[in-house]
Structure 1
């Protein structure tokens, strides 16, 4: 029957674009947010999870409703998407997460049945880094390693779905797309899809302090400075494989106060509860709109819900300890 998704897998994607009133009015542009928090797993990472698992099935590494295990290293949201998609096909999931990630995401992973392995934060060069740990566990178990950072099925999922959806929803009237990168899959895949349809569309990477991707786009060298409270975005030392050949035109760096201002105003003025990466994306879209001038249509990603960061971004003590702004209703 039309309009009925068969299961989790069929419910991912086709999220609406929401006009962001304040950002649009301030810039004279149409700034639109793709409401990825409306995916069944609650984030944009459902798309990557589905793409990666679909490819594993096509290669015979997993068979629906037969025993199988997927291992992934994640800041949380990809792990949630992987675990839920695995549940829907009768597979088990082992999710390796840095212990510094929000308590809400870790608790949710456990609630949905994932085998959660917490590890201390380590640099990527360290064998104990969560990505390296997940690869080692997958090898030891003989399980499928999702490998979201370098698995090109991640970007391919966005090229096949996110980009075409944005094109259709805007009627082709999209002048720029911007979003932050963790794995790079969203920016790379969406960028390729939009460039294929309109070569002049601008694809701009948004980056927090503490990440070296801004420097990589600007200078060709990965160089990080500062730090950020945002989770799941930015890379300090390595460019993810999904960004190889990505059609990136420019990069914008956004501070934590700028990102939080958008998180808080979207919630209090527009009824949209989003996390830090979405706040950063909206701040980048505003900065890009001011560069381009009035009359343009700019699309960005509302990655996930603010409910996953209650203990951090919406915790007055956490914010005050770091000298960050506290929203009036929590002060």
Structure 2
């Protein structure tokens, strides 16, 4: 019977999946090593278990002990899986830059999670590196895994990720593209592949705000290169010991926006719901496309699953607040009308006056306003039904047949949100501009906006 003894036996042997749309402008074949198929939904499962096994073998981790690690979430998940199966406790230290979902998942797996500030130097006592090291000293029977300098990290990828890619591509891989964080994945995988074929090119993708790219180019750890960034899971403000820059051929940096936008494109165009680093990986590949030929076979490593980023890169509001998402808003629709004034009518006017205004301006919806305040609405559809039932109603005051007032939204509300407010019973939405003037957007405006 094909039965796994525990969850750890499902780690590895993740698929290579061909990319068909997002890389169609490239002359070569591009495939993704999709490691969110690991049980912890990331490539970090591989090195987490390897670090535990080495720590056990070397006597650092004893029965009933506590695993302590500084982690952005994915390594913690792998370590938590190992701890559950092997009977250890876990304390994880992370930064306030990481998504809340990552910390929540670690807590669900039984770990204690401590959040530290991001914008401090590694040597600062508040940094998550320093806090993890201190807890390891203060906690009885504990061991600090230290994925950055623990060479079991890169050894895991030398023993598993590299051989899998070589076997799956039948040795035909020409390029490996991978985001650069702790250095374990790219160094271990690259070392194995280059031992099989030294002509394989290895490209590292870095974040702006990380010092790794400059270090690769100059050998200098320049802290002036370091500044806060939104990208998660890669980029560093120091050079971990897992790096062997001799097996990397080039570095390229990708902006926060480009990585986030590309991750969303991967989901929509390839059906691959991946994390931040996958989008940055593909963007980095596209930046280096001029070096590719039709005979190349490029393998991109997609580290983790998009479920850990639903409140960030897959959240429209988060994206818009950072200027990453270019969306049309109420304001954009109004701007395209070339200063067309809003047509309104007081509640004391006759129904016939509203009908005449609709005919004159070729409109279907009119806000009813008294003394600058919105008190209701009249629509062509609503008036038609009423007049058809009682033709004499056209001489009555609008006060007697008012429809509910249209919803009022912010002037920068996205078109998608406006569209959700418009229905058969409610045909328009209002908003005030910076000067306090009201404007209206109807179903017809939404359709026109989406069509452009």
Shorter-chain TM band? over 0.9
Q: What TM-score comes out, normalization by structure 2 length?
A: 0.69
Deviation of 1:23 after TM superposition, in Å, equals 3.7
The correspondence for 2:132, drawn from 134, 149, 158, is 134
Residues 71 and 94 in structure 2, CA contact (< 8 A), matched pair in contact too:
yes
Structure 2 residue ranges without an equivalent (≥5): 329-414, 418-452
- Compute the RMSD of aligned alpha carbons: 1.9
Q: Which residue of 1 aligns with 2:114?
A: 117
Cα distance in 1 for partners of 2:13, 2:252 equals 27
Equivalences for residues 8-157 of structure 1 within 5 A: 8-63=7-62, 66-121=63-118, 122-142=120-140, 143-157=142-156
Cα distance in 2 for partners of 1:55, 1:327 equals 50
Equivalences for residues 1-331 of structure 1 within 5 A: 1=1, 3-63=2-62, 66-121=63-118, 122-142=120-140, 143-223=142-222, 224=225, 227-236=228-237, 238-244=238-244, 246-325=246-325
Residues 8 and 81 in structure 2, CA contact (< 8 A), matched pair in contact too:
no
Cα distance in 1 for partners of 2:312, 2:174 equals 34
- Secondary structure at the residue paired with 1:230? coil
Task: Evaluate the alpha carbon distance shift between residue 226 and residue 114 of structure 1 in structure 2; reply closer, same or farther with a 3 A threshold.
Answer: closer
Cα distance in 2 for partners of 1:130, 1:193 equals 31
Q: Which moved more, 1:281-290 or 1:51-60?
A: 281-290
Residues 70 and 92 in structure 1, CA contact (< 8 A), matched pair in contact too:
yes
Deviation of 1:326 after TM superposition, in Å, equals 5.4
Cα distance in 2 for partners of 1:47, 1:115 equals 22
Deviation of 1:279 after TM superposition, in Å, equals 0.7
Cα distance in 1 for partners of 2:54, 2:210 equals 30
Cα distance in 2 for partners of 1:305, 1:44 equals 10
Task: Evaluate the alpha carbon distance shift between residue 160 and residue 47 of structure 1 in structure 2; reply closer, same or farther with a 3 A threshold.
Answer: same
Deviation of 1:20 after TM superposition, in Å, equals 1.1
Residues 285 and 298 in structure 1, CA contact (< 8 A), matched pair in contact too:
no
Cα distance in 2 for partners of 1:186, 1:76 equals 16
- Secondary structure at the residue paired with 2:242? helix
- The count of residues paired between Structure 1 and Structure 2 equals 327
- Secondary structure at the residue paired with 2:172? coil
Q: Which residue of 1 aligns with 2:353?
A: none
- Point out which structure has higher relative CO (alpha carbons under 8 A, 6+ apart): 1
Task: Evaluate the alpha carbon distance shift between residue 326 and residue 96 of structure 1 in structure 2; reply closer, same or farther with a 3 A threshold.
Answer: farther
Cα deviation digits, residues 132-172 of structure 1 (max 9, x gap)? 11111011113011100000000000000000000000000
Residues 260 and 325 in structure 1, CA contact (< 8 A), matched pair in contact too:
no
**Higher Rg:** 2
Cα distance in 1 for partners of 2:304, 2:326 equals 20
Deviation of 1:300 after TM superposition, in Å, equals 1.3
